[in-house]
Structure 1
């Protein structure tokens, strides 16, 4: 894997770069082909001395992404590696289960460890809702979302007639996902 490590309000020292690459490279064991994978790592330090580690790994069939806030940068890197490993295990189990059904080729390294199996209840749909997508603009969609007390809201954009999603970000501001 190739690494693109950036720092915001922090200098990425050789020691920090080496530690980050060493920790994240442990994820390579889960994939059969990572030659073209680029790992994007963003290290931030805020005024309140909190640090944030963001990692994005775009792969051919999925994008792994995680972020972790911690008072210690090195602890944040450790935690984010664990978080990404859990994501991989969960996704790997799901893909391998489907590939057994369809006989599809897997891009994960196969292992025989039962501890990596994901509990079926984690992927169980417990409630289904149906509703009409009312045409509106993004501001009205945010108002509707807030009235309902949800973290996201799906609507039809009145100008483009496409399905869009507004969501509340962790920083309290709003995001918009536009479909194409």
Structure 2
């Protein structure tokens, strides 16, 4: 019994340790007019995506059509971090962009949340990324073109941030939005 319990605990810990936000970026999307699908509904063609969907943010999906099969020219994958790590990074991005902080009390400590300020707005630098899911969703090319310009505009300021994790993540996200701006999609999973 102890061996089974220990195995279950180790499996659970390994699963939790792997939990986080993964990103796949596609560029050069074109609609496949007559896709050949397998018996489980997946496209058989090479470099084809199955049915992108706007999930809970349809305004971020602009430039794509739900329920279509797409062919892509190139793709890029990266791990945005654990869910909490991504949220810390997203808060730092909001701070970099100059948003004012809101004051939150967590565990009897004061915490400055720049991202919470963004959540109450409907525009601004990186707004479309900061006010977006931290788990799943799709951002389309129309939004990516705008956010890529935000990354370009703040690139020099981001290079001054001493945190290596922030800088590396900024580079991955900038590449993602640049690729997506070429008629692509960023898929959160």
User: What's the TM-score bracket when you normalise by the shorter of the two chains?
Assistant: under 0.3
**Comparing both structures, which one devotes a greater share of its residues to strand?**
1
Structure whose CA Rg is larger: 1
Per chain length, whose mean CA-contact separation is higher, i.e. which structure has more relative contact order (CA < 8 Å, sep 6+)? 2
Relative to its length, the structure with more helix (as a share) is 2
